């Protein structure tokens, strides 16, 4: 099946960021999209949430499971809307995580990166990558040292 070139492409990352731009600034969480990771790099399609103090009750109520539990001041959200989670998406998220920390001169504890999928990832694939479910539905953690700080959140 050929793609209709007259059909405009939906900017899912922009819609995702606009949702957070409406919900979070009123409770003191700044939101930025298309964040520069390095001075000479192209911008990445990630969403950045930042806070200065611990989450307030009002902030926690507006944040999704998994994210509201983070103690990091900088949260990077890599959102896959039309794509499934793949090994390539995981590697890309690791690169974003690494470059943002290095460019901003931030420690591992100051930044937490999340891989978020609008599509349900097959349990078999999650298990192959080492992701295990948590007590929160749709939130998966990985005990492997390389992915332990990058939870996967499935919105389905």
Q: Which domains does the chain have, with CATH numbers?
A: 12-154 (3.40.1350)
Residue 3 confidence (pLDDT): 53
- Sheet-wide strand order for 152-154: 30-33, 46-50, 74-80, 111-117, 152-154, 139-141, 132-133
* Tens-binned pLDDT, residue by residue, of the chain (156 aa): 455 566 777 778 888 888 999 999 999 999 888 777 666 655 567 788 888 888 899 999 999 999 999 999 999 999 998 888 999 999 999 999 998 999 899 999 999 999 999 988 899 999 999 999 999 999 999 999 999 999 999 987
Q: What is the pTM of this model?
A: 0.77
Spatial CB neighbours of 66, under 8 Å, sequence gap ≥ 6: 114, 134, 136, 138, 139, 151, 153
Q: How big is the chain, counted in residues?
A: 156
Residue 108 in tokens? 């591992």
DSSP alpha helix (H) spans, the chain: 12-23, 57-62, 87-104, 123-129
């Amino acid at each position: 099946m050929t793609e209709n070139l007259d059909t405009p492409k939906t900017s899912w990352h922009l819609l995702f960021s606009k949702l957070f731009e409406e919900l979070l600034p009123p409770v003191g969480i700044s939101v930025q999209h298309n964040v520069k990771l390095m001075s000479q790099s192209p911008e990445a399609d990630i969403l950045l949430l930042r806070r200065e103090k611990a989450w307030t009750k009002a902030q926690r109520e507006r944040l999704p499971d998994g994210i509201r539990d983070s103690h990091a001041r900088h949260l990077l959200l890599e959102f896959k809307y039309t794509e499934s989670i793949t090994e390539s998406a995981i590697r890309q998220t690791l690169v974003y995580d690494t470059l943002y920390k290095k460019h901003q001169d931030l420690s591992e504890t100051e930044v937490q990166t999340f891989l978020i999928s609008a599509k349900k990832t097959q349990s078999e694939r999650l298990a192959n990558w080492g992701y295990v479910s948590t007590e929160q539905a749709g939130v998966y953690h990985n005990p492997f040292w390389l992915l332990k700080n990058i939870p996967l959140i499935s919105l389905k």
